[in-house]
Amino acid sequence: MLKQISDYLFMGSLLILLISIFVVTGSRGMTNSSNATGATTDLQMDHDHKKIMEKQDTMLSKLLKSYLFWIPIVGIIVSIILSKITL
């Protein structure tokens, strides 16, 4: 019984974690917002790289500050502890 609760808690927490990643990051993810078509020069790639890195840093900081991210992490840890107790 406790193992089944642990399994459901793990799967639910994992699902909420995935949903929270999409919600907090605005479902932009790793899309390239560059309007360049065809071959790009090294200078354009350098500027785009800096812009992408800044965008990813802000998305990561938003994600780590969100309760919607940490609640599933705690749920996953609790489910692992519950599964160790049932052994």
Taking only the tens place, the pLDDT of each residue in 3-27 is 899 999 999 999 999 998 888 877 6
- Give the angle 41-33-40 at the CA atoms, nearest 5°: 10
> Is 37 domain-assigned?
no
Q: What CA–CA distance (Å, rounded) separates 72 from 74?
A: 5
Tokens, residue 64: 């780590």
> Is 4 domain-assigned?
no
Query: What is the pLDDT tens value at each position of the chain, 87 positions in all?
Result: 888 999 999 999 999 999 988 888 776 545 555 555 555 565 555 567 777 777 777 888 888 888 888 999 999 999 999 999 877
Q: Do residues 82 and 6 lie in contact, with contact meaning Cβ atoms separated by under 8 Å?
A: yes
> Is 77 domain-assigned?
yes
What is the total count of domains within the chain? 1
Residue 67: domain span: 9-23+61-87
